[in-house]
Chains A and B, each alone.
Chain A
Amino acid sequence: GQQVMQIPQYQHVQEGEDFTTYCNSSTTLSNIQWYKQRPGGHPVFLIQLVKSGEVKKQKRLTFQFGEAKKNSSLHITATQTTDVGTYFCAGPGTSGSRLTFGEGTQLTVNP
């Protein structure tokens, strides 16, 4: 079955440093979604990428979808303590199949 892998599993940064998490799928994805889960909270949808090579930005967050639609990345510029949490990528093998989540990257930001 489809597998979605994320690296790294954990990342500790100093406030102001950049952060990147990578997502790789064993199969081509029709789209990739990113979610953020704050400590003690539930996952919240951030963004969806659909097109090959697509890049989207949300303030300090930059999301990329690979040309082959099998990988994606989330980059945060100049991290802040509010960025703390676990970032999950998720994708369906086809638009009609269920969403498969990666294992998540847990980000800690030291002030």
Chain B
Amino acid sequence: GAGVSQSPSNKVTEKGKDVELRCDPISGHTALYWYRQSLGQGLEFLIYFQGNSAPDKSGLPSDRFSAERTGGSVSTLTIQRTQQEDSAVYLCASSLGPGAYEQYFGPGTRLTVT
């Protein structure tokens, strides 16, 4: 595809359920980021993958959050035992490399926990 894609675009789940959010980065991009954005707020960094290096998980808010990136391409963000405060837009971005390169963002997944 031409850009970063994310699925689903919207997800409504009940409190306590697990959810999986998917990100398909631009082909050839070695860096992949996950962010969380609450309404009217800034970008909260969650996790960063760069090539084969160990991911930077310093932004994950709790051990309910995890992410993996298979084969250096597709990434999945998993939230276990969802809470209402997890409701937000989850954005994925990819870039050709680490910080010196511009990021291309996907359209995001809007997660609502009821």
Mark A residues whose CB is within 8 Å of B. Answer: 1, 30-31, 33, 35, 42-45, 48, 86, 88, 90-104, 106
A101 near B43 with CB under 8 A, answer yes
19 contacting pairs across A/B (C-beta < 8 A):
A31-B99, A35-B103, A42-B108, A43-B43, A43-B91, A45-B102, A86-B42, A90-B103, A94-B99, A95-B98, A95-B100, A96-B98, A97-B98, A97-B99, A98-B31, A98-B56, A98-B98, A103-B42, A104-B42
A45–B104 CA distance with the chains assembled, in angstroms: 7
Residues of A with C-beta under 8 A to B103: 33, 35, 43, 45, 90, 99
Residue B50 at the chain A interface, CB threshold 8 Å:
yes
Residues of A with C-beta under 8 A to B105: 42-44
The residue in chain A whose Cβ has the minimal distance to the Cβ of B93 is A43
- Encode contact with A along B58-101: 1 for CB under 8 Å, 0 otherwise: 10000000000000000000000000000000010101001110
Q: If the complex has contacts A92-B100, A94-B99, A96-B98, are A101 and B91 also in contact, measured as CB distance less than 8 A?
A: no
